[in-house]
Every structure is written in C-alpha cells, then in structure tokens.
Structure 1
C-alpha cells in the first residue's frame, strides 16, 4: 500500500543512525560502488551518446524536493493555439550513458532501484551520473527522452510522441514554492498551467474510476530525549505533478500495446469478498458508503486527517489495491491477458524515473523505437523475458515499510505500558486455521499501526477498542514485531 512520505530532523536521524545502518545490513542493501563502476561512470559522464535533435530552446523546469539532485523529469506547459494544452516532458536519457552489459549496466541490474531510507539513500547509479551528468539539473545541457502530449480542453490526451533530444532546464523548483506561486497568482503561465492541466487530469481520472490515495507526510523530530511524530498535509501540487507522470506512463503503455514489444505495470482488481469485507469495516467506522458509490469515488470523499478515515484508507489500500506486477511481451501474439492497472484504471508502465528505477530505461527505449517505426535495440529485446522477474527482487518496498515501522517504534518506545484508543483494521480470520484473536490496530494519536493480541475475546473489524502498548523498540528483531499491543477489557 502507499506509505506516508517521511521527513526527519537531523537530530532524529542521528539518534536512529545505528538502527538504520542495521536495517540496511538486514536488507543486504548495496554498499559503495566498486571502483570499476565509478571509473565507468566518470568516463560515461564525459562521453554520452548525444542525439541529433536540439530542444534546448524549451524553457523546461523541474519540481522536486529542495535537496534533490537526481532529477529524472523536467516539463514545460503551454496552451495550444486551437484550444487545449501541450505538455513537454523530458525524461533523463540514462541509456545515453550506460552501455549494455558494461560495468554500469551490470551494477544497475544488481541494485534494480534506488533504496530510500529516512537518513539517506542507496542509489541505483553512481552520483557522477544520477546527481550529475545524466540529471536534469538547471542550466545543464543533457540528452533526454522528450515527450510531447497534446491535450484537448477537457484534459484528454489526443496525441503523444517521444524522441531523443538535447534539453536544458531553466529552473529547479520545489513543491512548496510552486504551490505558493500558483495560489498567490505570481506563477508564470507555464507553471500556473500545472494547476489547470492537473485539475483536468484528475477529473479525467475520476471519470475512468482511477484511484489516487493522498496520505499526510510524517514529520519526525527528536527533542528532550524523545521522538515526536506529527503529520503534514500534502499539497495540491503533489497531485497535479503526479498527473503528468501518470499521463506519460499511460501513453507509453498504449504505444507498447500498439507497436508490439512492451513491459507493463499491471494490477488486478480486488475480489468481491474483499469489497464486501471493506463495506463492513466502513459501516463500523461510521463511514457512509452508498451501494452505487464505487470504491474510487469513496476514496476521493475521505479526509486522511480524520482518524477513522485514515484507518479505513490504511486497510482499504492493502485490500483493494493488490500488489502490482510487471508483465512483458514481445509481439501482439503474446500480449498478456491482464494489461490494465486497477488503481489507474488503464494500461500503464513505469517510464519516468530511469535514474532511480531500472525498468524505466527499457520502457523508454521501447517507446522511442515505436515512435520511430523501428525495431527496439537488441539489448532491450534480450532483457524483456527476465526483466519482470528482476524487478520483483527490488527492495524498495521493503525499505519503505521497515523504515516506517522502525521510526514508529522509536516514537512509541517511551510509552510502553500506556493505554490508547485504537481501531481494529485487520484480523487473522483468513488464516488456516482462522484466528480472530490476533490482528492489527491503528492508534488514534499518533496514527501508528501495530500488531494486537486478545487473550479471551475475538477481534471485530472496524471496532473501536482500548489497547495497551506491550512492546515498542526500533532495535527489536522484525520477526518478533517492533510494535505489539494487547487488547484491554473494560
């Protein structure tokens, strides 16, 4: 399920540094790049494959965190003379630097994704590329895959195309600054159009029953020897920016399905019994879910700052948004039966973050070849069969989940023995044999999830309960649960 983005103060990072280091060890996270890989990165940084097309006239800009240097995407937005909009979306061209089967490529296949931890990251590519020569940093001329999307006045994409081009970003913007500029009316039109286009795309998403979960960011501080957890409301610009990426991922999937070879990010719909179970939870939480209201429509109506809504979102995301898969195909005769992504409600692929995710480099190559009317490079076709299996080995999700578990345990470690209000969000009744004496609860304040056990009564989904915190420690082995509650009989 989607996790809340986490931000930590420097004091909090320092207090948990040894715990995060142990987590990296437990996950067998890669350490420093081998000298041969660093040497190859330095050489590639000075001799990339440059495209013939020059698009440096486009005043592109990036939107990311203020401290980010691995900038995968840059955009420029404009109105079309006949009505509607045009989106230029530049994606870092990693293939211009990474030679197939070379030292950089071999190392990237071992790492698969960039791993993010609250105190730092383990990058997919050496910083000389990911934070330097291949990054879309401002005032740096770099090779990119330049997408062009034409939209009508309602936000529907009418045409998409991608080609290699030299680009030059003019500005590095951050989310808070863009939000303020748009809200205050001081944003220049290419930036201000992000709200217009993003809002229209969100309406299009709603019409096709797509789902975007918006959870508040976690803010963790360390003061007077104790950790504190608070929440920061997400900005509207986060969602508008995401719509540009989703637009590109859907366009790329359509190109692949039309042209032949491809790799898709797929997700099945939830079985009917899960929907029935969640309707029961909603009822117990006091959430009105009319029979004809779809799950996607319900999600858009909820407030993640409301404790009961947050409890429902936590359970619903895992139940109705099953784990996504990658599926590849070589031609139209071998397109998989399942091509759609349930949450997006359309075919979709990952193609907008090649500095941080291995599969995106291959997806980008497939789309460029499709637009050129050419066969994809041999090195791309050779990797297609094994690529889905390779991506399943990525540890990004585990790093996210276990980082959050670790920090939440630290937040609660000085409150062991305390009694708290909570909501039952899961039980083990589907185990073999069924067990309704164990499950998960979400505390009311802070909104932390933990394992719960009941000595003599069954747990009821959606029930409001009182629980005692029996254990909370960031260094406790994961197999023993870092956070454990017991049900309090009143």
Structure 2
C-alpha cells in the first residue's frame, strides 16, 4: 500500500548483508513462481522478430518526440510531442510502442506474454513481459532509432478539453530520453535556449488536464510509493520517493489517451476497458468518521475529491487521512465486451471511461486495446485474433495484477525485515496512519528507516506521532511488528 513520505530514507543495506538479501529475493521469486528466464524457443522467436519488424508506410519521423521515464529505463513505451495551435488549443502526439509489429497471435512470444501478463519489477532485476531484445531493444522507443508505433493524435482546445482523437500506425523517431528529474529541471530552470518546446507546453497542458479532472470529479492519490532501490557499490536502500509535478502532467497525457481509447471502443461496442466501482455509502461514512477523529474539517458540501486535494501528506494527520482514503481505490478490474457494453464501464477514481493502451511493452492488455482502436479509426474490422482473445483478458490480467502485487509486497516486507533485524528492541518515532481498535492494533509509518508496519497497543492516537518499540523483525517470514513504547 502506498504510504506518505514522513522523515528520512532508510540506511543502506550494504554487503555482506546484500548477499543474504539477494538470496532472499531469489527465494521469494521461486516461492511466488515469478517468471524469470525465457524458454529458448521464445528467445529465438524474439530474435527473429527483432530482425524483421513490420514497419508501417506512414513516416512521422518529423515529429520531435521525447520520452520521460525513471532513470535507467530501457523499456520505453511512450514518446510525446505537444504543439500549440493558432486558435489557442494544443495538438498532442503520443507514440506508443507497436508490439504487434513484432509479435503475432499464437507465436512463442505471444504465448509467453499471455502466461506472464505484465512485467514484474524487483530491486535487483525485472521479469519482463517480453524478451529484452524486444522490450528493451527493437520495440522500445529509444532515442535516435526509427521504430514502428501506434501514433495517437489528440486535439485539445485552449482549456484542455478533447475535441478530437485518433490513432494510426506510423514510423517515428524519438529525439531524446529524459528522466523525470531532468524534465522538471528543464521546466524550472531553463537554459540559454529556453525550455524544450514540448516540455514548456506540457507544463501548460498538464495543469489544464488536472483542472478538467477536478471538474469531472476525478481524484489522484499522489502518495509517494515505497521503493527498494539498488545503490552504487552494491546494496539496497528502502525509501519513499516524492512525485514531481512533471510526473503528474505526464500521467495526465496517458490518462487523456486512455479515455479517448475507451470512448472509441464503447461507442463501437467492442474492446476492453479498465473499471473501478464507485465508493459505497458505508465507505464514505467511515472516512467521515476518520476525518472527525483526526480533527479534519469536512463540510457536507465538500465532495470527496476536493477533500483529498486539500490534504498535505507532509502533515501527520493529513497523511493518516490519505492512507484511509486508499480504501476507496480498490476493486479495479477489466471489462471486455463485443456487441454490448458493460453496465457500468466507468473508472470511479478517474470519473470517466478509461482503457489501458499506453504501456504494451509492460502490460499485455494494452496491445489488444490498441489494436481495437486502430481498426475503429481506420474503419476496418477488428482483427479476429483480437476478438478471440478479448473474453479471456480480464481474468488473465487480474491474475497477473495480483501476482505482481504479491511479489512487490513480499520484496518490501523482506527488505524491511532485513534492515530492522539488528535493531529489535530499539525505540523509533512513527506516525499512526490506521487504527483497528477492536484488535488493539494499527499501522505506523516510521520516520527512519522508512517503514510501514503493524503496531500493537490500545488507544493508538490516529494521525499523531508516537514512540514505538520494534518487537519483531523476521526475514524468514518478512514480518515487522512494533508495539507502543
């Protein structure tokens, strides 16, 4: 579960401790059956595909696209270009890696991708959806390389509202690969030549789309995610990474494209969308009780999304409130349809119809949704191999999502326990972010190291700092437990 950033990052887990953690990570992968090496026939098929991509006729290498990703990323799904129009609006060009230019239905790479479902990320290695020769090579939108892509063009008015959207196959060439930090720095501290044009316009379009999100009633819980990261010289660090504004703006472009895709498919009554049920009345009443316990004013006329936007995760009681709000972000799934649309296709957190189409290198479903949209925009039938796969995709993706979440949680639990094992009995300062009074326990986020764990005790003060003693840290089970000091 994401947690607010409170305090300092954890100490680094250095060698020789690192060797033990590496063995532990290998054990976790084996125990959870996380896919690792690809079978020889899959690797051979991927090599052949990488050597002979199906390049489209349309050439859009004139677009000065760029990518924005975490440092060290090689599986680059998306490349962006934003242009200003004379009427005050914007043209967003969003190139998405074209996996189907390399992978055919029923071939070894396709069958293995269906077995995996998505890329699994660990601190020491990733288990990719496709062999690296494709996902990090021939299909990745690496800078300076001509690549086949699904090129979305989304027209926005001066207020950031979508006026038109469509997708075609095209050859593209990204000009530059930036990290989030580099992109934010270019926006905040432009050099002599000024900010890159696409980034300057992203800094306009992003806030406009966030405003449209507020109008829709959508909400994003921009809580930093707990991460296990490798460090120079060997070892791991456990920390929370604060999100930069450009990450939110970049995410808005992905959301914009996903909403356009969902609208196309729902109108045509064929495709697959990402869904999330609306919050129940009982869940909202519980949240109001939490707000009251924390002393957070929640006027009756203030809706839930506006309350979330008013919270500051740097304040302990607001952090506890945001942690409680995560209960409303559960139940997401997929709905496939062919001939009749789902009864409730909306994604409640986005407050719109929405589909996954922007990460086909890392997520299986995106390839299929993208193919449906290509056919609809071209006025051609949806390919039979796509229609045949649609009914099974929701179950396949649910299984992959659950497996990836279990793996990520197990990895974090393991590293937390390894970091803390020598410190059992010590007293730490933490913030209580959740309370279960009927079980005399709760959840505490410790300042240093950056750990979220169970805490036992009566009358735990929700949203307040507390002295807690480390009662247990067991790497064998990945268990960390505190008690009120």
Question: Are 2:202 and 1:199 aligned?
Answer: no
1:344 aligns with 2:378: no
1:397 aligns with 2:413: no
Partner of residue 76, structure 2: 71
Structure 2 counterparts to residues 306-325 of structure 1, below 5 A: 306-317=315-326, 319-325=327-333
**Structure 2 CA distance for aligned equivalents of residues 372 and 8 of structure 1:** 54
Structure 2 partner of 1:267: 276
- 1:355 and 1:85, CA in 2 relative to 1: closer, same or farther beyond 3 A? same
Would you say the 8 A contact 2:276–2:348 is kept in 1? yes
How far apart are the structure 2 equivalents of 1:227 and 1:286?
Answer: 38
1:225-279 deviation per Cα after TM superposition (whole angstroms, max 9, x unaligned): 9986554432111111111001001111001101111111100122112212222
359, 363, 367: which one aligns with 2:373: 367
**Per-residue deviation at 1:66?**
2.8
* Deviations 1:116-164 (CA, angstroms, capped at 9, x unpaired): 0122211000011001110000111111000000000011111100011
- Residues 9, 72 of structure 1: CA spacing in aligned structure 2 closer, same or farther, 3 A cutoff? farther
2:132 aligned partner: 127
* Aligned equivalents of 2:4, 2:121: Cα separation in 1: 13
Would the alpha carbon gap of residues 314 and 476 (structure 1) be closer, same or farther in structure 2, given more than 3 Å must change?
A: farther
Q: Does 1:441 align with 2:450?
A: no
Alpha-carbon contact 2:418-2:473 (below 8 Å) kept: yes
CA contact (8 A) 2:317 2:464 kept: no
CA contact 2:46–2:109 (8 Å) conserved in 1: yes
TM (normalized to structure 1)?
Answer: 0.90
Larger CA deviation: 301-310 vs 110-119: 301-310
The CA deviation string for residues 324-366 of structure 1, in whole angstroms up to 9 with x for no partner, is 11111002xx211121111111111111000000000001001
Normalising by the residue count of structure 2, what TM-score does the alignment of the two structures yield? Answer: 0.91
Q: Distance in 2 between matches of 1:4 and 1:128?
A: 37
Aligned twin of 1:209: 217
- Give 1:464 shift: 6.0
2:362 is matched with 356
Q: For residue 483 of structure 1, what is the aligned residue in structure 2? A: 480
Gaps of 5+ in 1: 430-434
Q: 1:227 to 1:59 in 2, by over 3 A?
A: closer
Change (3 A) 1:9 1:359: farther
Over 3 Å counting, the alpha-carbon distance change for 1:409 and 1:309 in structure 2 is: farther
Question: How far apart, CA to CA, are the structure 2 residues paired with 1:307 and 1:410?
Answer: 26
Structure 1 residues 272 and 336: CA distance shift in structure 2, 3 A: same
Q: Deviations over 1:41-80 (max 9, x none)?
A: 0100111222121111111111112311110000111001
Q: Describe the superposition over 1:420-474 as per-residue Cα deviations: whole angstroms up to 9, x where unpaired.
A: 4445444557xxxxx43344333355553222334xx46676576543321123x
Equivalence map 1:370-385=2 (5 Å): 370-385=376-391
| Superimposed CA distance per residue, residues 145-201 of structure 1 (whole angstroms, 9 cap, x where no aligned partner) | 000000000111111000111111111111111111111233121221110011111
Q: Which moved more, 1:404-413 or 1:34-43?
A: 404-413
1:140–1:413 distance in 2 versus 1, CA, 3 Å: same
Q: Does 1:28 align with 2:29?
A: no
| Consecutive unaligned residues in structure 2, runs of 5 or more | none
Q: Does 1:247 align with 2:256?
A: yes
Q: In 2, distance between residues paired with 1:472 and 1:401?
A: 16
User: 1:340 and 1:257, CA in 2 relative to 1: closer, same or farther beyond 3 A?
Assistant: same
For CA contacts below 8 A with separation 6 or more, give which structure has more relative contact order.
2
Instruction: Report 1:411-490 matches (<5 A).
Output: 411-427=419-435, 435-443=438-446, 445-446=448-449, 448-454=451-457, 457=458, 466-473=467-474, 475-478=475-478, 482-488=479-485
- Superposed displacement of residue 286, structure 1: 3.2
Total equivalences in the alignment? 474
Distance 2:378 2:230 in 1: 51
Q: Distance in 2 between matches of 1:166 and 1:146?
A: 9
Q: Any residues of structure 2 matched to 1:47-62 within 5 Å, and which?
A: 47-62=52-67
Per the alignment, residue 152 of structure 2 pairs with 147
Find the aligned partners of 1:254 and 1:2 in 2 and give their Cα distance.
Answer: 30
CA RMSD, aligned part only?
A: 2.7
**TM-aligned CA distance change 1:461 to 1:311, over 3 Å:** closer
SS at match of 2:481: strand
Q: 1: CA distance between counterparts of 2:318 and 2:43?
A: 48
